[in-house]
Amino acid sequence: MSASTAVAGSALRASEPAQGTRVGVGVLGATGYVGAELIRLLAEHPHAALRAASSRQHQGRALAEALPAMAGGTLVLDDDGAEPGSWRERGVEVVFAALPHGAFAARARAFLDAGMRVVDLSSDFRLRSAAEYRRRYGLDHPAPDLLTDAVYGLTEWCGDPLADARLVANPGCYATALLLATLPIVAEGWWSGDVIVANALSGVSGAGRAPSLATHFVEVGNGAAPYKVGEAHPHLGEVGQAIRSVAAKAPIDEVRMIFNPHLVPMARGIVANVAIPLGRCVGEAAARGLFAGRYAGAPFVRVLDGEALPETRFVRGSNRCDLAVRVVDRGRRLLVFAAIDNLVKGAAGQAIQNWNRLQGWPDETGLPLAAWASA
């Protein structure tokens, strides 16, 4: 079934009453790239009933009009400033906030106080320190008291706290790829503590749907460009925080990672490689065994065998992360390659995976494991 057919066939459920185990869902920022991906995936979720959605640009219009793939849906879009009380009255139990960074933090408590659980897909609650938030994003956090309440939702690594969370901070797309590639080594104590070097290529949808010169087709259609290189990218704040939280050799005061992201002419996807210096010599079989063992129970992480390397086309449209491991520098350095769809595993899919954990359902409930056709 194609993506558009799946959404169109399920959109009519938005106006039906919840039945059985269906849970009322609301999406803030429903017509951005991530919000639209949430709508697509929730339409196929067996336990989701879309009760409310919002859009600053399209308020008052039918969802099917703003997102033509939703043909048949009659849900009318609210403004992004929708009142939490009205959503609760419509049966919304969980809110996915897919708003721009800084747009939701001040309103989060109102949704929580109205009795809803929240999965926030922006950067607003990923960092536990208000000072670090200001350093990374140049803003004073409007709700610093909530920072320590939020659970950082890198699903494969967040463990038991996620089950009882009221507020989940969905990781950034780059952070998801980098951390799934790095944390097994750190947690095992193999990392030497020296500088980690990471490079990544990303599709243009990672910059959001709002038009800008940097993402104009003429600017990106026939070239590739690095940006926010070295230690400048804001996702490094959450990456360092997560690495410190699992480090076998504690305490680690500072995690140094040099990160070089690049924008490339494709719509979606991230492929990254991470070079991790080791404190001991390891063989490739041991390294692959470490990753295979750590992700053995993770349905959306696939550790590739042999000479295979991850490619974005083999994860496009899926909630999967493909990883490959290589040992270089005479066993003293590990190269880990990762590929994800930035809109699915890097955003909307992981948010729903986290919601599945909140509800006590299997991670894979309603989420695509297979990629779209590679052509």
Averaged pLDDT of the chain: 88
- 318 pLDDT higher than 90: yes
pLDDT band per the 50, 70, 90 thresholds, residue 344:
very high
Cα distance between residue 210 and residue 15, in whole Å: 29
Mean pLDDT comparison of 5-14, 98-107, 201-210, highest-scoring range: 98-107
Q: Can you read off the two tokens belonging to residue 7?
A: 């959404």
**Does residue 321 carry a catalytic annotation?**
no
Residue type (1 letter), 170: N
Mean pLDDT of 108-116: 97
Question: What's the pLDDT tens digit per position in 245-258?
Answer: 998 665 556 788 99
Which of 2-11, 109-118, 361-370 is predicted with the least confidence, judged by mean pLDDT?
Answer: 2-11
pLDDT band per the 50, 70, 90 thresholds, residue 374:
low
From the list 158, 173, 281, 321, the catalytic residue is 173
- 144 pLDDT higher than 70: yes
Mean pLDDT of 31-51: 95
Question: What's the pLDDT tens digit per position in 184-242?
Answer: 999 999 999 999 999 999 987 655 555 555 565 556 667 788 888 877 788 899 999 99
Domains of the chain, first to last: 3-149 (3.40.50.720), 174-342 (3.30.360.10)
Mean pLDDT comparison of 13-17, 156-160, 217-221, 291-295, highest-scoring range: 291-295
- 13 pLDDT higher than 90: no
